């Protein structure tokens, strides 16, 4: 699905910024240059200086590489984040970069060990000088080789930084549906979030989170971009929304606009609802029809209006009931635990026995 992937930076964009290796090596070599060894003889001091140059430059490079990997450490990079990143960058690309960074670390460690041994065996100062030059050269080429990988991991880190952190201990109501149906308007009414609302599709292009207090229960309300029902051909915003439904939802509030003012007919919206019900049989999906101020119809579903506020209290009551039921079920399942939490499934979602799925 090439259209869902992030584009690599153009050569011109890459030209504008020096590659990461320039900064990393600059700091490493400067630190190594500042060594002031003690020793009785010049030969002793020369050897110690060479040893310290090897150790300091390599340690500085390794520390920088570890820093590049920090945003992707397991604690910050759960399965939900992984799904988002896979969808945005391509799964294999990120794995390849991680692997290449790890390999570069191992090679640098090996190079350092060899250089330390050679320094110990060297006789003359000139020999030491030549040894250090060679070591610096190889160290630099190892780091330069992974420049594209460091750039990619930095892009992933920046992407993740823009995504809200979901508290996996709190229930997550994901508000989803077709574009322009009124999802963000409902999120603004239900929670503390104030997402942008406008009369064109794809106003929301990334997920955002607000909170709602429903009696005893605190709920995270997640606004998502609209999804046109076209698996494998969705744009990055649609892929992100589907990944959130698949990987982060405790429950889904599926918003339908029967008035058609969103620009899409009810049958195509119903088709998306049907597909999700089929793909996520264990997920609780509550459909709600909105914009009822534009016209009411006969239906068993909840009907609301974000403009007049009609039906919102009934919707809140329904959500409260659903949450209380889920809490009671969790308490019944783990009666001895003080703070009952559902067992975590994929992406911190309560396990429901449905198969993991990579959204396309
Ligand atoms: N009449 C009426 N208009 C509404 C209602 N809810 C939302 N709208 C309008 O519908 C349009 C889309 O609303 P949004 O809340 O931005 O819809 P969305 O589903 O978040 O849209 P995307 O983020 O683009 O997918 C805006 O012009 C809103 O003012 C409603 O209950 N009644
Ligand atoms: Mg929106």
Q: Per-residue pLDDT tens for 267-323?
A: 999 999 999 999 999 899 999 999 999 999 999 999 999 999 999 999 999 998 888
Contact (Cβ atoms closer than 8 angstroms) between residue 164 and residue 207: yes
Tally the residues of the chain: 360
Q: Which residues line ligand 1 (CB under 6 A)?
A: 179-185, 197-199, 201-204, 225-226, 290-291, 293-294, 305-307
Q: Which CATH number fits domain 172-348: 2.40.240.10, 3.30.530.20, 3.40.50.300, 3.30.559.10?
A: 3.40.50.300
Give 340: exposed, middle or buried? Use CB within 10 Å, 0-12, 13-18, 19+: middle
**199 C-alpha to ligand 2 centroid (Å):** 10
What is the residue with the minimal CA distance to atom 23 of ligand 1? 204
**200 C-alpha to ligand 2 centroid (Å):** 9
Distance CA 84, CA 159 (A): 9
Contact (Cβ atoms closer than 8 angstroms) between residue 264 and residue 180: yes
What DSSP letter does each residue of 184-226 carry, written as one string? Answer: HHHHHHHSS------SSTTS--S-EEEEEEETTEEEEEEE---
Which ligand 1 atom minimizes the distance to the CA of 308? 31
Q: Would 2-162 and 172-348 be classified into the same CATH topology?
A: no
More confident of the two residues 346 and 294 = 294
Q: Mean pLDDT over all residues of the chain?
A: 87
Name residues whose C-beta falls within 8 Å of residue 59's C-beta, 6 or more positions apart in sequence. Answer: none
More confident of the two residues 78 and 269 = 269
Helix (H, G, I), strand (E, B) or coil at 255: strand
Domain residue spans in the chain?
2-162, 172-348
Distance CA 214, CA 324 (A): 9
**199 C-alpha to ligand 1 centroid (Å):** 6
Q: What number of other Cβ atoms are within 10 A of residue 215's Cβ?
A: 11
Please write the tens of the pLDDT for every residue from 99-147: 999 999 999 999 999 999 999 988 788 899 999 999 999 999 999 999 9
- Token reading at 205: 């292009």
Which ligand 1 atom minimizes the distance to the CA of 202? 24
Give 354: exposed, middle or buried? Use CB within 10 Å, 0-12, 13-18, 19+: middle
Give 226: exposed, middle or buried? Use CB within 10 Å, 0-12, 13-18, 19+: buried
The torsion region of residue 90 among left (phi > 0), alpha (psi -120 to 50) and beta comes to: left
Which ligand 1 atom minimizes the distance to the CA of 197? 16
> Mean pLDDT throughout 141-159?
95
Q: How confident is the model at residue 36 (pLDDT cuts 50, 70, 90)?
A: confident
What is the residue with the minimal CA distance to atom 25 of ligand 1? 179
> Mean pLDDT throughout 147-154?
96
**356 C-alpha to ligand 2 centroid (Å):** 27
> Mean pLDDT throughout 228-241?
91
HEC sequence for 88-140: HHCHHHHHHHHHHHHHHHHHHHHHHHHHHHHHHHCCCHHHHHHHHHHHHHHHH
- Token reading at 21: 């290796």
Give this prediction's pTM: 0.76
> Mean pLDDT throughout 45-73?
93
Distance CA 227, CA 210 (A): 20
**259 C-alpha to ligand 1 centroid (Å):** 11
The CATH class that applies to domain 2-162 reads mainly alpha
C-alpha distance from residue 181 to each of 194, 210, 288 (Å): 16, 19, 11
More confident of the two residues 345 and 117 = 117
pLDDT at 178: 98
Q: How confident is the model at residue 2 (pLDDT cuts 50, 70, 90)?
A: very low
pLDDT at 38: 84
pLDDT at 4: 46
Percent of the chain with pLDDT over 90: 62
What DSSP letter does each residue of 64-90 carry, written as one string? Answer: HHHHHHGGGSTTT--HHHHHHHHHHH-
pLDDT at 339 over 70: no
Please write the tens of the pLDDT for every residue from 175-205: 999 999 999 999 999 999 999 999 999 999 9
Q: What number of other Cβ atoms are within 10 A of residue 206's Cβ?
A: 17
Distance CA 152, CA 144 (A): 14
């Amino acid at each position: 699905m090439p259209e869902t992937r992030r584009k690599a930076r153009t050569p011109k964009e890459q030209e504008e910024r020096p590659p990461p290796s320039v900064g990393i090596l600059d700091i490493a070599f400067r630190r190594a240059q500042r060594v002031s060894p003690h020793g009785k003889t010049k030969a002793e001091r020369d050897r110690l200086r060479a040893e310290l140059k090897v150790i300091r430059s390599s340690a500085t490079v390794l520390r920088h590489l570890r820093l590049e990997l920090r945003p992707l450490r397991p604690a910050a990079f759960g399965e939900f984040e992984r799904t988002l990143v896979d969808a945005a960058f391509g799964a294999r690309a990120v794995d390849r970069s991680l692997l290449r960074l790890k390999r570069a670390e191992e090679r640098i460690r090996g190079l350092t060990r060899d250089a330390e041994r050679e320094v110990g065996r060297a006789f003359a100062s000139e020999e030491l000088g030549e040894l250090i030059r060679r070591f610096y050269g190889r160290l630099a080429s190892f780091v330069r080789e992974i420049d594209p990988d460091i750039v990619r991991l930095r892009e992933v880190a920046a992407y993740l930084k823009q995504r809200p952190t979901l508290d996996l201990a709190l229930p997550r109501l994901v508000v989803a549906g077709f574009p322009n149906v009124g999802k963000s308007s409902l999120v603004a009414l239900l929670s503390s979030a104030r997402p942008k609302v406008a009369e064109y599709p794809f106003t929301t292009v990334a997920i955002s989170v607000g909170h709602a207090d429903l009696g005893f229960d605190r709920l995270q309300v997640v606004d998502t971009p609209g999804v046109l029902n076209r698996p494998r051909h969705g744009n990055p915003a649609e892929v992100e929304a589907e990944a959130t439904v698949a990987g982060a939802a405790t429950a889904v509030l599926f918003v339908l606009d029967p008035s058609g003012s969103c620009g899409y007919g009810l049958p195509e919206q119903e088709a998306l609802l049907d597909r999700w019900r089929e793909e996520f049989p264990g997920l609780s999906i509550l459909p709600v029809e909105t914009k009822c101020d534009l016209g009411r119809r006969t239906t068993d579903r909840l009907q609301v209006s974000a403009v007049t506020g009609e039906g919102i209290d009934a919707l809140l009551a329904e959500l409260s009931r659903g949450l209380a039921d889920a809490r009671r079920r969790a308490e019944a399942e783990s009666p001895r635990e003080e703070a009952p939490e559902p067992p975590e499934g994929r992406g911190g979602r309560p396990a429901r026995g449905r198969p993991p799925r990579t959204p396309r």
